[in-house]
């Protein structure tokens, strides 16, 4: 029953994430069968990792499966692939920490006892997926709209900074998560600590997303301003050249008029001289 709940939540979570990435990255394979195959690959890797590996190692197998799926479905570079895997894992991991901590504090029991209870575990998994989807939707609607996120994904330097922050926060939460195995730690204190760490990590990453978006936006504005300045400089050079040309042409016309006036005067004088000789 516990495995069935995990599979259902994974399917829902994967559908949401793949639909999100579909709006962010150019599509390599767009048929629904390919998305179904990608979900199957993720479940095939996640379940054995969850059942047979240490949770610290399983985290990176799950990240790797998402990165593989992204490589198969979309046209992405390495930084974008690592970002997708890390944000997928961080979101669900931090949401799970928040829900587990709340359950532990409300039920006055340890987080380990909550996770060992099938009924509580399925509820925690479902709520963690729901919280992850809601938090990402909040980021998409309020903090970093999709049109700004697309620009951020094209900036490798800023996206790399975001990836470093995501992985650092994930390691931090994994370190805090290990505290549930130590019986000498008071469960109430540890649950409050885990809740606070998970909440702070989520808020920190929302700040990082906002910061990255603003930096990319300013860089785009600076690039646009630089292009406008270059265009203005080019237009000014063209204007100066045109002005010199018109000034030269004006001088030429003035000299030409003076010259023609002189020619006419000379011609008139010659005509008069010729007439005078004839009269003599």
Reading the block at residue 226, the tokens are 């630089």
Axis crossing angle, helix 146-153 with helix 156-177, rounded to the nearest 10? 100
Instruction: Say yes or no to pLDDT of 249 above 80.
Output: no
Predicted pLDDT of residue 108: 87
Backbone angles phi, psi at 31, to 5 degrees: -75, 145
Long-range contacts of 216-224 (CB under 8 A, 24+ apart): 216/148, 216/151, 216/152, 216/155, 216/158, 217/148, 217/151, 219/155, 219/158, 220/151
For residues 25 and 75, the answer to whether their CB atoms sit within 8 Å is yes
The pLDDT of residue 274 is above 90 = no
* The pLDDT of residue 264: 75
Question: Which residue has 């990453």 as its token pair?
Answer: 205
pLDDT in tens, 202-227: 999 989 988 888 888 887 777 777 78
Highest mean pLDDT among 48-57, 168-177, 221-230: 168-177
Sign of the four-CA dihedral 29, 31, 37, 38: positive
Q: Kindly report, residue by residue over 29-40, the tens digit of the pLDDT.
A: 888 899 999 999
């Amino acid at each position: 029953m516990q495995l069935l709940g995990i599979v259902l939540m994974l399917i829902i979570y994967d559908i949401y994430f793949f639909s999100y990435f579909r709006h962010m990255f150019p599509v390599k394979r767009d048929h629904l069968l390919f998305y179904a195959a990608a979900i199957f690959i993720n479940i095939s890797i996640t379940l054995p990792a969850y059942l047979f590996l240490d949770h610290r190692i399983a985290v990176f197998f799950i990240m790797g499966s998402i990165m593989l799926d992204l490589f198969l479905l979309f046209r992405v570079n390495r930084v974008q692939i690592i970002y997708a895997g890390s944000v997928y894992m961080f979101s669900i991991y931090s949401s799970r920490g928040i829900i587990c901590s709340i359950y532990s504090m409300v039920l006055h029991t340890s987080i380990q006892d909550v996770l060992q209870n099938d009924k509580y575990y399925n509820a925690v998994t479902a709520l963690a997926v729901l919280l992850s989807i809601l938090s990402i939707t909040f980021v998409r609607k309020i903090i970093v709209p999709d049109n700004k996120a697309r620009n951020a994904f094209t900036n490798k330097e800023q996206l790399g900074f975001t990836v470093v922050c995501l992985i650092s926060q994930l390691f931090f939460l994994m370190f805090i998560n290990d505290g549930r195995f130590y019986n000498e730690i008071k469960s109430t204190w540890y649950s409050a600590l885990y809740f606070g760490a998970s909440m702070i990590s989520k808020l920190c990453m929302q700040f990082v997303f906002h910061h990255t978006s603003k930096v990319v936006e300013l860089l785009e504005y600076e690039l646009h301003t630089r292009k406008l300045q270059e265009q203005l400089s080019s237009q000014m050079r063209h204007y100066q050249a045109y002005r010199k040309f018109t000034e030269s042409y004006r001088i030429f016309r003035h000299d030409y008029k003076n010259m023609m006036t002189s020619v006419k005067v000379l011609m008139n004088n010659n005509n008069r001289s010729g007439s005078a000789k004839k009269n003599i």
